[in-house]
Every structure is written in C-alpha cells, then in structure tokens.
Amino acid sequence: MPSQKKRPVTLTAADREALVRVTTTGVHPASMIRRAQVLLALDTSTGEVDPVEVIAARLGVSGETLRLVAKRFAETSGDIWATVGRRQREQPPVPSPVTGEVEARLIALACSQPPQGHARWSLRLLEKQVALVDDIPDLDHSTIGRVLKKRSFALI
C-alpha cells in the first residue's frame, strides 16, 4: 500500500515509549489506543515493517484506517499527540437560529393575546405566527417549545 512509501512513520525512542504507555495503560479512550497501536505498527525506525494487509489483520482495522493515521501523522509534522488525540472542532457546524433577541421576541409573542378565534397559544399556533413575523427566523414548533421550556414558560 502506498501509505508506507508516501508517508513513512518514523518515531523517536521517546515517542515510541509514550505510545507504548498509551497502549498498555487502560486510562485512554479506545480510539486513542487504536491509533497508537497503528502508529507503533507502522513505525519504520525499528526496521522492516510488515505489509499493510498483515498489520490491518493483526490490529483488526482496515487498510483505510492505516492510511488515514499515517496521513494525519504526516500532516501534524510527526506530533504523536495530535495524531492519536481527538480533533477539536472550532465551532458548532450549524449556528443556532435562536439568539437572545429571538428568544426575547418569542417570549413576548407568547405573552401577548392569542389571535382571534383562539383561547390560548399553542406551539403550532406560535409556529404559524412566527412564520408571519419578519424579524424572527422561521422556527419549528419543537424549537419554540424548547425555548419556552428553558425559561420555564408554560402556555396556559
């Protein structure tokens, strides 16, 4: 497989010792231990490395996993902790449409008089009313219920 030729994994003695410690102590997440085992198996500093198929079968992972770990090791410039650790995402993938201002407008709407023909507000009725208001983004009735529940607001 080309990962050993394109991205050889060469560990220092200190890195190798740290990875052995990660794999032998049971205080790390399983994914971290698995990536540490992959790095140890792909290490070219100890001599000849087994073929990828043999390493994959021995560790119980796919060849793609071996390739991705070697790629991440190369991308992090040989930093083992960045390779075996979990990547932290920079921000939530989708920002919440409910901001403080939207929440305040929603609560003010729920406190107002319901439309004519209705005795009280329901979540579905609030959803329809929010769709008509221009400065509030369209929200689902379940989102409206979560916002009101968070503020201990009961529709009576």
Q: What is the pLDDT of residues 133-146, one digit of tens each?
A: 888 899 999 999 99
CA 127 to chain centre: 30
CB 11 within 8 Å of CB 80:
yes
% of the chain exceeding 70 in pLDDT: 97
pLDDT of 90 strictly over 80: no
Q: What is the pLDDT of residues 33-61, one digit of tens each?
A: 999 999 999 988 877 888 889 999 999 99
pLDDT per residue as tens digits for the range 7-39: 788 888 899 999 999 999 878 999 999 999 999
CA angle 48, 54, 55 (to 5 degrees): 75
Domain residue spans of the chain: 3-84, 100-150
Is residue 80 within 8 Å of 21, Cβ to Cβ? no
Q: Tell whether the model's pLDDT for residue 2 goes beyond 50.
A: no
Q: What is the pLDDT of residue 1?
A: 45
Q: Is residue 109 within 8 Å of 130, Cβ to Cβ?
A: yes
Handedness of CA 105, 106, 111, 115 (dihedral sign): positive
Tens of pLDDT, residue by residue over 104-140, are 999 999 999 999 999 999 999 999 999 998 888 999 9
